[in-house]
Structure 1
Amino acid sequence: MIETPSFPPLLAGEVVPNNMDPFEKAVSRAIAGVDSGTVFYSEAGDNLRAALVLAPETPLEQAIQAVYVAQIGLAESLGALAPPEVPVHFQWPDRIKVNGAICGKIRYAADVSDPGAEPKWLVVGIEIPFIPHGDDPGANPNETCLLEEGCSEVTPMALLESWSKHTLLWLTYFLDDGAERVHREWRPRCDTLGETVEKPKHGVFVGLDEKGRMLLRDGPMTETISLIQFAEQV
């Protein structure tokens, strides 16, 4: 029996065939004018693939920070469903880490790329592996899945349901209180903050500015790098 997720008020779910990418479906439907708050998802049991359509009423440089909201929503969902000893962290701009290894990602796209332009739509998606891909789970030690991290009791639909609720809650905080509250919640979960990184380029990741841009210091110079640069092209 297929588990059917329950979505909170203001969100509505739409299942897509398992051979179809929910993110791509969400983008195509957003272009056609689907309602904001629609969550497209696959019922496949090997991973969670879902995408939420938003209709921001702010410039892209503000709206794009919904990426951080989606990450926080996912971390809180795993915190509620997974064993308490399973740590969840972020790797800027879009990776999710469980027990120190990459375990899925956030995907996002909008109909504009100009930071000052107001997008008609913004799609934010998640992809979280539940079982190992391939015959040798240890082939990629920097990657993991929820089954390998002791989360065998967590199902994709239960995680989707929880993610939708926590993400909606944090979207409300974001709209009501601005980005700083989101940043305060996000920073402690980023395990490369304060560290030297090589991606997207070499430097010390010293924080986020008020627009959610990465602050990367290399010697005496500090530059800003926007999430917008890493949005998927549609």
Structure 2
Amino acid sequence: MTDADFPPLFNGYASAGDDPLALACNAAQGGTEAGLVIHDAGPDSLRAAVVFAPEVPLREAAIMLPLCGLGFQNALGVLAPPVVAIHLGWDGAIYVNGGRCGQLTMIASTDDPDAVPDWLVIGLHLDLTPLGDDGGTDPDRTALYAEGCGDVAAPDLLAAWLRHSLSWLDTWDNQGTAPLHREWSGLVHGLNETVTLAGQTGTLLGTDEHLNGLLKSGDTTTLIPLTRLLKDAP
């Protein structure tokens, strides 16, 4: 993939086997501009990381994790056969036909919810081929090409993910969180089931209007901020 394949505002390069997430975080710490995309499409997995420069406090900017999830779901939904079901976990997990197929990760320059981050990086890891020789070592895991998506080229999927994420970013800028909440609510994996999110276990009721998680345990419903999903830089 070349820069010409990226939508406007994005540019980047292939990592040649190195971890794109680590490289993107290092570049962000060094002051790179927003829109940098570092990617690595191997035979078994697609890895990518995108640098953003939020202009709002982290508690609001953290919506970039589900926003980029929607971008990925929409992108794969266009490229995959119609029978393929794509759902999203609140924690950034990606599910294809009910099996966990990938993960989105969020890293920022600060973990203070009230501070405006200097940078925020969203990483993508997608399994393309099954783990293990028979693909059955973990029944809850799957891979893109094992779910009837063998014709989906990783570079095309990456470019489509960026395009759809950019579209959702524009929607968020102009219309707020309501359209994202409506779309995401129809794609959530594990709704009304017992799940563990950010170290807490309970029944996933959905999210509030800002896509913070709502988890019920007994008679208590707890709001889990998206900022709890922040990871440390590799």
Instruction: Quickly name the TM-score band, shorter chain normalised.
Output: over 0.9
5 Å-filtered alignment, 1:1-234, equals: 3-4=1-2, 6-18=5-17, 20-199=18-197, 200-234=199-233
The answer to which of 202-211 and 8-17 deviates more is: 202-211
Partner AA of 2:60 in structure 1? Q
Q: 2:71 corresponds to which letter in structure 1?
A: G
SS at match of 2:162: helix
Distance 2:15 2:86 in 1: 28
CA distance in 2, matches of 1:47, 1:30: 24
Displacement of 1:191 in angstroms is 2.3
SS of the equivalent of 1:138 reads coil
Aligned amino acid, residue 216 of structure 2: R
Kept in 1: contact 2:66–2:90 (CA 8 A): no
TM-score by length of 2: 0.94
Per-residue deviation at 1:144?
Answer: 0.4
CA distance in 2, matches of 1:48, 1:175: 28
TM-superposition CA deviations, 1:10-37 (whole Å, max 9, x none):
111222111x100110000000011101
Name the aligned partner's letter for residue 195 of structure 2.
V
Instruction: Give the secondary-structure state (helix, strand or coil) at the position aligned to 2:223.
Output: strand
- The 4+ residue runs of structure 1 with deviation greater than 6 A are none
Equivalent position SS for 2:192? coil
Q: 1:72 & 1:195 partners in 2: Cα distance?
A: 21
Give the partner amino acid of 1:225: I
CA displacement, residues 111-142 of structure 1 (integer Å, 9 cap, x when unaligned): 11011111010000111111123223111110
Q: Give the CA deviation at 1:4.
A: 4.2
CA contact (8 A) 1:61 1:211 kept: no
Paired with 2:184 and 2:107, the residues of 1 have a C-alpha distance of 20
* Unaligned runs of at least 5 residues, structure 2: none
Q: What percentage of aligned pairs have identical amino acids?
A: 38
SS of residue in 2 equivalent to 1:131: coil
Equivalent pair of 2:131/2:137 in contact (CA under 8 Å): no
1:133-171 residue CA offsets vs partner (Å, 9 max, x unmatched)? 322311111000011101010111111011010011111
Q: Give distance in 2, aligned partners of 1:185 and 1:141.
A: 28
The whole-number CA distance in structure 2 between the counterparts of 1:73 and 1:196 is 26
- Residue type of the partner of 2:202? G
Q: Which amino acid in 1 is paired with 2:15? A: V
CA RMSD of aligned residues (A): 1.4
Post-superposition offset of 1:103:
0.2
Moved more, 151-160 or 207-216: 207-216
* Residue segments in structure 1 that go unaligned for 5+ positions in a row: none
> What is the distance in 2 between the residues matched to 1:134 and 1:181?
39
TM-superposed CA distance for 1:46, in Å, is 2.0
- Given that 1:45 and 1:156 are in contact with CA atoms closer than 8 Å, whether structure 2 keeps it comes out as no
Distance 1:47 1:204 in 2: 31
Select between 29-38 and 128-137 the one with higher mean Cα deviation. 128-137
How far apart, in 2, do the equivalents of 1:45 and 1:202 lie? 35
The CA deviation string for residues 200-227 of structure 1, in whole angstroms up to 9 with x for no partner, is: 4222211212332111112221111122
